[in-house]
Protein backbone atom coordinates (compact mmCIF):
# COMPACT_ATOMS: atom_id res chain seq x y z
CA UNK A 1 0.00 0.00 0.00
CA UNK A 2 2.85 2.36 0.85
CA UNK A 3 4.30 1.84 -2.60
CA UNK A 4 0.97 2.61 -4.26
CA UNK A 5 0.67 5.84 -2.30
CA UNK A 6 4.18 6.86 -3.31
CA UNK A 7 3.29 6.51 -6.99
CA UNK A 8 0.10 8.48 -6.45
CA UNK A 9 1.94 11.32 -4.74
CA UNK A 10 4.47 11.52 -7.54
CA UNK A 11 1.60 11.91 -10.00
CA UNK A 12 -0.01 14.50 -7.79
CA UNK A 13 3.03 16.75 -7.90
CA UNK A 14 3.06 16.68 -11.70
CA UNK A 15 -0.65 17.02 -12.46
CA UNK A 16 -3.88 16.79 -10.53
CA UNK A 17 -5.67 15.32 -13.55
CA UNK A 18 -3.31 12.31 -13.56
CA UNK A 19 -4.13 11.75 -9.92
CA UNK A 20 -7.82 11.39 -10.76
CA UNK A 21 -7.11 8.93 -13.52
CA UNK A 22 -5.18 6.56 -11.28
CA UNK A 23 -7.82 6.69 -8.59
CA UNK A 24 -7.52 3.40 -6.71
CA UNK A 25 -8.75 2.35 -3.35
CA UNK A 26 -5.60 2.78 -1.17
CA UNK A 27 -5.30 6.36 -2.42
CA UNK A 28 -8.92 7.06 -1.45
CA UNK A 29 -7.99 6.48 2.18
CA UNK A 30 -5.37 9.24 2.05
CA UNK A 31 -7.15 12.08 0.29
CA UNK A 32 -10.09 14.18 1.41
CA UNK A 33 -12.45 14.05 -1.54
CA UNK A 34 -14.32 17.30 -1.94
CA UNK A 35 -17.29 18.10 -4.13
CA UNK A 36 -18.39 21.73 -4.68
CA UNK A 37 -21.92 22.84 -5.58
CA UNK A 38 -22.52 26.47 -6.52
CA UNK A 39 -24.77 27.98 -9.15
CA UNK A 40 -22.20 30.70 -9.89
CA UNK A 41 -19.40 29.39 -12.15
CA UNK A 42 -16.99 32.10 -10.96
CA UNK A 43 -17.44 30.98 -7.34
CA UNK A 44 -16.64 27.42 -8.37
CA UNK A 45 -13.53 28.71 -10.10
CA UNK A 46 -12.46 30.61 -6.96
CA UNK A 47 -12.90 27.44 -4.89
CA UNK A 48 -10.96 25.44 -7.45
CA UNK A 49 -8.06 27.89 -7.34
CA UNK A 50 -7.95 27.79 -3.54
CA UNK A 51 -8.00 24.01 -3.41
CA UNK A 52 -5.31 23.39 -6.00
CA UNK A 53 -2.20 21.89 -4.38
CA UNK A 54 -3.71 21.59 -0.92
CA UNK A 55 -2.99 17.92 -0.45
CA UNK A 56 -4.66 15.84 0.97
CA UNK A 57 -7.67 17.86 -0.21
CA UNK A 58 -8.75 16.90 -3.70
CA UNK A 59 -11.57 18.67 -5.55
CA UNK A 60 -13.11 15.68 -7.33
CA UNK A 61 -16.32 17.17 -8.72
CA UNK A 62 -17.92 20.57 -9.26
CA UNK A 63 -21.62 21.02 -10.03
CA UNK A 64 -24.02 23.89 -10.47
CA UNK A 65 -27.30 22.35 -9.30
CA UNK A 66 -28.52 20.58 -6.19
CA UNK A 67 -30.32 17.89 -8.13
CA UNK A 68 -27.15 16.96 -10.04
CA UNK A 69 -25.41 16.77 -6.69
CA UNK A 70 -28.02 14.35 -5.30
CA UNK A 71 -27.96 12.17 -8.37
CA UNK A 72 -24.16 11.71 -8.55
CA UNK A 73 -23.09 11.92 -4.92
CA UNK A 74 -23.33 8.15 -4.42
CA UNK A 75 -20.98 7.50 -7.35
CA UNK A 76 -18.57 10.35 -6.65
CA UNK A 77 -18.31 9.30 -3.00
CA UNK A 78 -16.94 12.57 -1.56
CA UNK A 79 -15.98 13.08 2.08
CA UNK A 80 -17.01 16.73 2.10
CA UNK A 81 -19.51 18.65 -0.04
CA UNK A 82 -19.15 22.44 -0.21
CA UNK A 83 -22.56 23.97 -0.85
CA UNK A 84 -22.93 27.65 -1.68
CA UNK A 85 -26.18 29.30 -0.66
CA UNK A 86 -28.23 30.57 -3.59
CA UNK A 87 -28.44 27.29 -5.50
CA UNK A 88 -31.39 27.81 -7.77
CA UNK A 89 -33.09 24.44 -8.21
CA UNK A 90 -33.32 23.31 -4.59
CA UNK A 91 -33.21 25.10 -1.27
CA UNK A 92 -29.66 24.64 0.00
CA UNK A 93 -30.82 23.77 3.54
CA UNK A 94 -32.92 21.05 2.01
CA UNK A 95 -29.91 19.80 0.09
CA UNK A 96 -27.94 19.65 3.35
CA UNK A 97 -30.78 17.67 4.98
CA UNK A 98 -31.01 15.20 2.14
CA UNK A 99 -27.26 14.61 2.06
CA UNK A 100 -27.24 13.95 5.82
CA UNK A 101 -30.19 11.56 5.57
CA UNK A 102 -29.00 9.59 2.59
CA UNK A 103 -25.21 9.82 2.93
CA UNK A 104 -24.29 9.96 6.62
CA UNK A 105 -20.56 9.64 5.88
CA UNK A 106 -20.54 12.82 3.79
CA UNK A 107 -20.02 16.16 5.54
CA UNK A 108 -21.88 19.14 4.05
CA UNK A 109 -20.11 22.48 4.60
CA UNK A 110 -22.01 25.61 3.65
CA UNK A 111 -20.51 28.70 2.03
CA UNK A 112 -22.85 31.49 3.01
CA UNK A 113 -23.05 35.21 2.53
CA UNK A 114 -25.25 35.51 5.63
CA UNK A 115 -23.54 36.20 8.93
CA UNK A 116 -26.40 36.36 11.41
CA UNK A 117 -26.68 33.80 14.17
CA UNK A 118 -30.13 32.54 13.28
CA UNK A 119 -28.96 31.46 9.82
CA UNK A 120 -26.01 29.71 11.43
CA UNK A 121 -28.39 27.89 13.76
CA UNK A 122 -30.57 26.83 10.78
CA UNK A 123 -27.52 25.46 9.00
CA UNK A 124 -26.32 23.43 11.93
CA UNK A 125 -29.75 22.01 12.73
CA UNK A 126 -30.10 20.97 9.09
CA UNK A 127 -26.91 18.92 9.57
CA UNK A 128 -24.15 21.13 8.13
CA UNK A 129 -20.72 20.19 9.48
CA UNK A 130 -19.33 23.67 9.08
CA UNK A 131 -19.99 27.11 7.63
CA UNK A 132 -17.71 29.50 5.81
CA UNK A 133 -18.45 33.17 5.30
CA UNK A 134 -18.03 34.35 1.73
CA UNK A 135 -18.69 37.69 0.07
CA UNK A 136 -19.18 38.88 -3.47
CA UNK A 137 -17.35 42.09 -4.35
CA UNK A 138 -16.73 44.06 -7.53
CA UNK A 139 -13.39 42.22 -7.80
CA UNK A 140 -15.05 38.81 -7.51
CA UNK A 141 -15.64 36.32 -4.71
CA UNK A 142 -13.87 36.75 -1.40
CA UNK A 143 -13.19 33.34 0.09
CA UNK A 144 -10.36 32.59 2.50
CA UNK A 145 -8.26 29.67 1.28
CA UNK A 146 -7.00 29.04 4.84
CA UNK A 147 -10.53 28.90 6.19
CA UNK A 148 -11.61 26.54 3.42
CA UNK A 149 -8.68 24.29 4.24
CA UNK A 150 -9.44 24.36 7.98
CA UNK A 151 -13.20 23.77 7.67
CA UNK A 152 -12.75 20.92 5.19
CA UNK A 153 -10.33 19.18 7.58
CA UNK A 154 -12.67 19.74 10.55
CA UNK A 155 -15.70 18.45 8.65
CA UNK A 156 -13.76 15.44 7.44
CA UNK A 157 -12.76 14.57 11.01
CA UNK A 158 -16.43 14.72 12.05
CA UNK A 159 -17.51 12.08 9.54
CA UNK A 160 -14.33 10.01 9.37
CA UNK A 161 -15.53 7.54 12.02
CA UNK A 162 -18.91 7.16 10.29
CA UNK A 163 -17.10 6.28 7.07
CA UNK A 164 -14.93 3.76 8.90
CA UNK A 165 -17.95 2.14 10.57
CA UNK A 166 -19.73 1.89 7.22
CA UNK A 167 -16.63 0.39 5.66
CA UNK A 168 -16.47 -2.23 8.42
CA UNK A 169 -20.09 -3.08 7.72
CA UNK A 170 -21.19 -1.96 11.18
CA UNK A 171 -23.90 0.09 9.52
CA UNK A 172 -25.70 -0.72 6.33
CA UNK A 173 -27.00 1.86 3.87
CA UNK A 174 -30.10 3.77 4.93
CA UNK A 175 -32.67 1.62 3.14
CA UNK A 176 -31.54 -1.57 4.90
CA UNK A 177 -31.40 -0.03 8.35
CA UNK A 178 -35.09 -0.76 8.69
CA UNK A 179 -35.77 2.93 8.15
CA UNK A 180 -38.01 2.67 5.15
CA UNK A 181 -40.16 5.31 3.54
CA UNK A 182 -42.81 3.65 1.39
CA UNK A 183 -44.61 6.09 -0.85
CA UNK A 184 -47.90 4.95 -2.35
CA UNK A 185 -48.57 6.85 -5.55
CA UNK A 186 -50.76 6.91 -8.65
CA UNK A 187 -51.28 9.74 -11.13
CA UNK A 188 -54.95 8.75 -11.29
CA UNK A 189 -57.43 9.78 -8.62
CA UNK A 190 -59.64 7.18 -6.97
CA UNK A 191 -57.60 4.07 -7.87
CA UNK A 192 -57.37 3.05 -4.22
CA UNK A 193 -54.09 4.65 -3.02
CA UNK A 194 -55.44 5.71 0.35
CA UNK A 195 -57.27 2.50 1.26
CA UNK A 196 -54.20 0.48 0.28
CA UNK A 197 -51.75 2.79 2.10
CA UNK A 198 -53.83 2.63 5.28
CA UNK A 199 -54.26 -1.16 5.03
CA UNK A 200 -50.52 -1.62 4.48
CA UNK A 201 -49.56 0.65 7.40
CA UNK A 202 -51.97 -1.14 9.74
CA UNK A 203 -50.66 -4.57 8.73
CA UNK A 204 -47.05 -3.41 9.13
CA UNK A 205 -47.76 -2.16 12.65
CA UNK A 206 -49.66 -5.32 13.53
CA UNK A 207 -47.01 -7.68 12.17
CA UNK A 208 -44.31 -6.72 14.69
CA UNK A 209 -45.17 -4.89 17.92
CA UNK A 210 -41.57 -3.62 18.18
CA UNK A 211 -41.59 -2.09 14.73
CA UNK A 212 -42.33 1.65 14.83
CA UNK A 213 -44.68 2.48 11.98
CA UNK A 214 -46.04 5.86 10.88
CA UNK A 215 -48.63 6.74 8.26
CA UNK A 216 -48.55 10.20 6.66
CA UNK A 217 -51.58 11.54 4.80
CA UNK A 218 -50.05 13.76 2.10
CA UNK A 219 -53.38 14.45 0.47
CA UNK A 220 -52.99 17.83 2.14
CA UNK A 221 -56.24 19.38 0.99
CA UNK A 222 -58.66 16.49 1.16
CA UNK A 223 -56.98 13.72 3.12
CA UNK A 224 -59.33 10.98 4.31
CA UNK A 225 -56.99 8.48 5.92
CA UNK A 226 -58.39 9.47 9.34
CA UNK A 227 -61.79 8.22 8.14
CA UNK A 228 -60.32 4.88 7.08
CA UNK A 229 -58.56 4.68 10.47
CA UNK A 230 -61.64 5.83 12.39
CA UNK A 231 -59.51 8.36 14.26
CA UNK A 232 -60.01 12.02 15.16
CA UNK A 233 -56.52 13.47 15.07
CA UNK A 234 -55.75 16.42 17.35
CA UNK A 235 -52.66 17.43 15.42
CA UNK A 236 -51.68 17.40 11.78
CA UNK A 237 -48.64 17.63 9.53
CA UNK A 238 -48.83 21.43 9.91
CA UNK A 239 -47.71 21.03 13.54
CA UNK A 240 -44.77 18.86 12.51
CA UNK A 241 -43.76 21.38 9.85
CA UNK A 242 -43.88 24.20 12.41
CA UNK A 243 -41.65 22.27 14.83
CA UNK A 244 -39.45 20.32 12.45
CA UNK A 245 -36.15 21.89 13.47
CA UNK A 246 -36.64 21.27 17.17
CA UNK A 247 -38.30 17.85 17.12
CA UNK A 248 -37.26 15.35 19.72
CA UNK A 249 -38.93 12.16 20.81
CA UNK A 250 -41.23 13.83 23.35
CA UNK A 251 -42.40 16.64 21.06
CA UNK A 252 -42.98 14.13 18.29
CA UNK A 253 -44.90 11.93 20.71
CA UNK A 254 -47.22 14.84 21.47
CA UNK A 255 -47.73 15.81 17.82
CA UNK A 256 -48.66 12.49 16.22
CA UNK A 257 -51.96 10.68 16.68
CA UNK A 258 -51.98 7.02 17.67
CA UNK A 259 -54.21 4.22 16.49
CA UNK A 260 -54.05 1.42 19.02
CA UNK A 261 -54.73 -1.98 17.46
CA UNK A 262 -55.83 -5.30 18.88
CA UNK A 263 -52.97 -6.82 20.83
CA UNK A 264 -51.64 -3.38 21.83
CA UNK A 265 -49.74 -2.59 18.61
CA UNK A 266 -49.75 1.08 17.63
CA UNK A 267 -49.75 2.98 14.38
CA UNK A 268 -48.60 6.61 14.53
CA UNK A 269 -50.64 8.82 12.24
CA UNK A 270 -49.74 12.20 10.80
CA UNK A 271 -52.92 13.59 9.32
CA UNK A 272 -53.50 16.14 6.60
CA UNK A 273 -54.24 19.65 7.92
CA UNK A 274 -57.70 19.98 9.48
CA UNK A 275 -58.45 22.92 7.21
CA UNK A 276 -57.82 22.64 3.45
CA UNK A 277 -56.53 26.24 3.39
CA UNK A 278 -53.64 25.32 5.66
CA UNK A 279 -52.42 22.99 2.90
CA UNK A 280 -51.27 26.01 0.88
CA UNK A 281 -48.71 26.88 3.56
CA UNK A 282 -46.90 23.56 3.16
CA UNK A 283 -44.33 23.18 0.40
CA UNK A 284 -42.11 20.34 -0.73
CA UNK A 285 -39.13 21.34 1.35
CA UNK A 286 -41.26 21.36 4.53
CA UNK A 287 -42.41 17.85 3.74
CA UNK A 288 -38.86 16.66 3.01
CA UNK A 289 -37.80 18.02 6.42
CA UNK A 290 -40.65 16.13 8.08
CA UNK A 291 -39.59 12.87 6.39
CA UNK A 292 -36.05 13.37 7.52
CA UNK A 293 -37.24 13.76 11.10
CA UNK A 294 -39.63 10.80 10.88
CA UNK A 295 -36.85 8.60 9.53
CA UNK A 296 -35.02 9.10 12.82
CA UNK A 297 -37.92 7.77 14.89
CA UNK A 298 -39.80 5.25 12.77
CA UNK A 299 -38.68 1.99 11.24
CA UNK A 300 -41.25 2.36 8.46
CA UNK A 301 -43.14 5.43 7.27
CA UNK A 302 -45.96 4.82 4.80
CA UNK A 303 -46.91 7.88 2.75
CA UNK A 304 -50.26 8.29 1.04
CA UNK A 305 -50.11 10.84 -1.78
CA UNK A 306 -52.40 12.57 -4.27
CA UNK A 307 -52.53 12.15 -8.02
CA UNK A 308 -51.07 15.60 -8.71
CA UNK A 309 -47.30 15.76 -9.14
CA UNK A 310 -46.63 18.83 -7.00
CA UNK A 311 -43.48 19.72 -5.09
CA UNK A 312 -45.11 18.01 -2.09
CA UNK A 313 -45.72 14.75 -3.97
CA UNK A 314 -42.21 14.95 -5.45
CA UNK A 315 -40.73 15.29 -1.96
CA UNK A 316 -42.49 12.03 -1.04
CA UNK A 317 -41.24 10.29 -4.17
CA UNK A 318 -37.68 11.55 -3.69
CA UNK A 319 -37.54 10.52 -0.05
CA UNK A 320 -38.96 7.05 -0.76
CA UNK A 321 -36.89 3.93 -0.34
CA UNK A 322 -39.75 2.17 -2.13
CA UNK A 323 -42.46 3.58 -4.37
CA UNK A 324 -45.60 1.51 -4.78
CA UNK A 325 -47.30 2.63 -7.97
CA UNK A 326 -50.97 1.72 -7.82
CA UNK A 327 -52.76 1.10 -11.10
CA UNK A 328 -56.31 -0.09 -11.61
CA UNK A 329 -57.61 -2.27 -14.41
CA UNK A 330 -58.84 0.46 -16.75
CA UNK A 331 -57.49 2.25 -19.79
CA UNK A 332 -57.41 5.72 -18.21
CA UNK A 333 -55.38 4.57 -15.23
CA UNK A 334 -52.96 2.71 -17.49
CA UNK A 335 -52.47 5.72 -19.77
CA UNK A 336 -51.93 8.09 -16.87
CA UNK A 337 -49.54 5.72 -15.14
CA UNK A 338 -47.51 5.46 -18.33
CA UNK A 339 -47.36 9.23 -18.73
CA UNK A 340 -46.34 9.68 -15.09
CA UNK A 341 -43.51 7.16 -15.44
CA UNK A 342 -42.22 9.04 -18.47
CA UNK A 343 -42.25 12.28 -16.52
CA UNK A 344 -40.68 10.90 -13.36
CA UNK A 345 -37.84 9.34 -15.35
CA UNK A 346 -36.46 12.85 -15.96
CA UNK A 347 -33.17 12.99 -14.00
CA UNK A 348 -34.08 16.52 -12.87
CA UNK A 349 -36.57 14.93 -10.46
CA UNK A 350 -33.85 12.78 -8.85
CA UNK A 351 -36.23 9.89 -8.26
CA UNK A 352 -34.82 6.42 -7.82
CA UNK A 353 -36.70 4.61 -10.60
CA UNK A 354 -35.32 1.30 -9.31
CA UNK A 355 -37.40 1.80 -6.16
CA UNK A 356 -40.69 1.60 -8.09
CA UNK A 357 -42.91 -1.50 -7.98
CA UNK A 358 -46.37 -1.92 -9.38
CA UNK A 359 -49.48 -2.80 -7.37
CA UNK A 360 -52.65 -3.63 -9.28
CA UNK A 361 -55.92 -2.73 -7.58
CA UNK A 362 -59.60 -3.43 -8.28
CA UNK A 363 -58.81 -6.50 -10.34
CA UNK A 364 -61.84 -8.36 -11.64
CA UNK A 365 -62.36 -11.20 -14.07
CA UNK A 366 -64.83 -9.50 -16.41
CA UNK A 367 -62.58 -6.70 -17.66
CA UNK A 368 -61.14 -7.17 -21.15
CA UNK A 369 -57.80 -5.82 -19.96
CA UNK A 370 -55.97 -8.67 -18.29
CA UNK A 371 -53.68 -7.99 -15.31
CA UNK A 372 -50.78 -9.79 -16.97
CA UNK A 373 -51.03 -7.38 -19.94
CA UNK A 374 -50.73 -4.39 -17.56
CA UNK A 375 -47.76 -5.97 -15.83
CA UNK A 376 -45.89 -6.67 -19.06
CA UNK A 377 -46.65 -3.18 -20.36
CA UNK A 378 -44.90 -1.41 -17.48
CA UNK A 379 -41.94 -3.76 -17.12
CA UNK A 380 -41.87 -3.11 -13.39
CA UNK A 381 -41.80 -5.72 -10.66
CA UNK A 382 -45.43 -6.34 -9.68
CA UNK A 383 -45.94 -6.89 -5.97
CA UNK A 384 -49.52 -8.09 -6.19
CA UNK A 385 -53.06 -7.92 -7.51
CA UNK A 386 -55.76 -6.70 -5.16
CA UNK A 387 -59.22 -7.90 -6.18
CA UNK A 388 -62.19 -5.60 -6.63
CA UNK A 389 -64.51 -6.24 -3.69
CA UNK A 390 -67.20 -3.58 -3.45
CA UNK A 391 -69.02 -5.16 -0.53
CA UNK A 392 -65.90 -5.23 1.65
CA UNK A 393 -65.04 -1.61 0.89
CA UNK A 394 -68.58 -0.31 1.30
CA UNK A 395 -69.43 -2.14 4.52
CA UNK A 396 -66.02 -2.20 6.23
CA UNK A 397 -63.33 0.07 4.79
CA UNK A 398 -65.31 3.20 3.94
CA UNK A 399 -67.09 3.23 7.30
CA UNK A 400 -63.96 3.06 9.44
CA UNK A 401 -63.97 -0.65 10.28
CA UNK A 402 -60.74 -1.43 8.50
CA UNK A 403 -58.59 -1.72 11.66
CA UNK A 404 -60.83 -4.50 13.01
CA UNK A 405 -61.51 -6.07 9.59
CA UNK A 406 -57.84 -6.99 9.13
CA UNK A 407 -58.37 -10.23 11.00
CA UNK A 408 -60.90 -11.40 8.37
CA UNK A 409 -59.87 -13.90 5.76
CA UNK A 410 -61.04 -11.46 3.13
CA UNK A 411 -59.41 -11.74 -0.35
CA UNK A 412 -58.45 -8.04 -0.21
CA UNK A 413 -56.67 -8.41 3.13
CA UNK A 414 -55.02 -11.58 1.83
CA UNK A 415 -53.72 -9.69 -1.21
CA UNK A 416 -52.39 -6.87 1.02
CA UNK A 417 -50.60 -9.43 3.18
CA UNK A 418 -49.08 -10.99 0.07
CA UNK A 419 -47.76 -7.56 -0.97
CA UNK A 420 -46.34 -7.01 2.50
CA UNK A 421 -44.56 -10.38 2.34
CA UNK A 422 -43.11 -9.37 -1.05
CA UNK A 423 -41.59 -6.22 0.46
CA UNK A 424 -39.16 -8.42 2.42
CA UNK A 425 -38.28 -6.16 5.31
CA UNK A 426 -35.03 -6.42 7.14
CA UNK A 427 -35.50 -6.99 10.84
CA UNK A 428 -35.57 -3.52 12.40
CA UNK A 429 -32.49 -2.52 14.35
CA UNK A 430 -33.30 -1.98 18.00
CA UNK A 431 -30.69 0.67 18.81
CA UNK A 432 -31.49 2.72 15.76
CA UNK A 433 -33.69 4.61 14.91
CA UNK A 434 -34.09 6.69 18.06
CA UNK A 435 -37.02 5.29 20.00
CA UNK A 436 -40.17 7.18 20.64
Residue 98, contacted partner among Mg ion, ligand ATP, none, CB below 5-8 A by kind: none
Q: What is the DSSP letter of 125?
A: H
Nearer to ligand ATP, 4 or 278 (CB): 278
Residue 386, contacted partner among Mg ion, ligand ATP, none, CB below 5-8 A by kind: ligand ATP
Q: What crossing angle do the helices spanning 41-51 and 145-167 adopt, rounded to 10°?
A: 80
CA distance 251 to 217: 19
Q: Is 431 exposed, middle or buried (0-12, 13-18, 19+ CB in 10 A)?
A: exposed
Query: With the C-alpha atoms ordered 259, 178, 66, 252, is the resulting torsion angle positive or negative?
Result: positive
Give the nearest distance from C-beta 413 to Mg ion in angstroms: 19
Q: Tell me which residues touch ligand ATP (CB under 6 A).
A: 186, 189-195, 219, 306-307, 361-362, 386, 388-390, 393, 397-398, 412
CA 28 from chain center: how many Å?
27
Binding of Mg ion by 329 (CB under 5 A)? no
Nearer to ligand ATP, 106 or 325 (CB): 325
Q: Which residue pairs from 392-400 have beta carbons closer than 8 angstroms and sit at least 24 positions apart in sequence? A: 393/195, 397/195, 397/199, 397/228, 398/227, 398/228, 400/227, 400/228, 400/229, 400/230
Give the nearest distance from C-beta 312 to Mg ion in angstroms: 14
Give the nearest distance from C-beta 357 to Mg ion in angstroms: 19
Give the nearest distance from C-beta 194 to Mg ion in angstroms: 3
CB-closest chain residue to Mg ion: 194
Give the nearest distance from C-beta 332 to ligand ATP in angstroms: 13
Nearer to ligand ATP, 12 or 362 (CB): 362
Q: Is 11 exposed, middle or buried (0-12, 13-18, 19+ CB in 10 A)?
A: middle
Question: Following CA atoms 246, 248, 252, 255 in sequence, which dihedral angle do they give, to the nearest 10 degrees?
Answer: -40
Nearer to Mg ion, 197 or 351 (CB): 197
Which candidate, 352, 397, 360, places its Cα nearest to that of 377?
A: 360
Contact positions with Mg ion (CB under 5 A) in 134-193: 193
Nearer to Mg ion, 221 or 401 (CB): 221
Nearer to Mg ion, 91 or 361 (CB): 361
Q: What is the DSSP string of 128-174?
A: -S-EEE-EEETTEEE--HHHHHHHHHHHHHHHHHHHHHHHTTSS--G
For residue 108, the cross-strand partners are: 81
Nearer to Mg ion, 84 or 359 (CB): 359
Which candidate, 231, 275, 271, places its Cα nearest to that of 255?
A: 271
Q: Which stretch binds Mg ion (CB under 5 A): 117-125, 200-208, 211-219, 413-421?
A: 211-219
Contact yes or no for 380/325 (Cβ under 8 A): yes
Residue 36, contacted partner among ligand ATP, Mg ion, none, CB below 5-8 A by kind: none
Q: What is the DSSP letter of 309?
A: -
Nearer to Mg ion, 103 or 193 (CB): 193
Question: Among residues 31, 79, 183, 194, which is the contact residue for Mg ion, using CB under 5 A?
Answer: 194
Give the nearest distance from C-beta 193 to Mg ion in angstroms: 5
Give the nearest distance from C-beta 295 to Mg ion in angstroms: 23
Give the nearest distance from C-beta 222 to ligand ATP in angstroms: 7
Residues binding Mg ion (CB under 5 A): 193-194, 219
Amino acid sequence: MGQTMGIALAHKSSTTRNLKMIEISPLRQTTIRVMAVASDASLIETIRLHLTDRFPIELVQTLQTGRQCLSVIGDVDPNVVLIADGIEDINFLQLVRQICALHPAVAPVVLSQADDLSSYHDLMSAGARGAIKIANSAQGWIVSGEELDLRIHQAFELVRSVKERLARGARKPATTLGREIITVYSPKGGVGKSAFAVGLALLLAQQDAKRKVALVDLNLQFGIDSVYLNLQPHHSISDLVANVDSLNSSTLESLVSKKVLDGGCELAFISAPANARQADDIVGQNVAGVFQALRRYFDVTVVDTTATISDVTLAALQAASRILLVCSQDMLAIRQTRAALELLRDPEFAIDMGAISLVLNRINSYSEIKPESIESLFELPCLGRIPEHNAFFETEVNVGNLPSALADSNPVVKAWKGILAGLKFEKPLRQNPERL
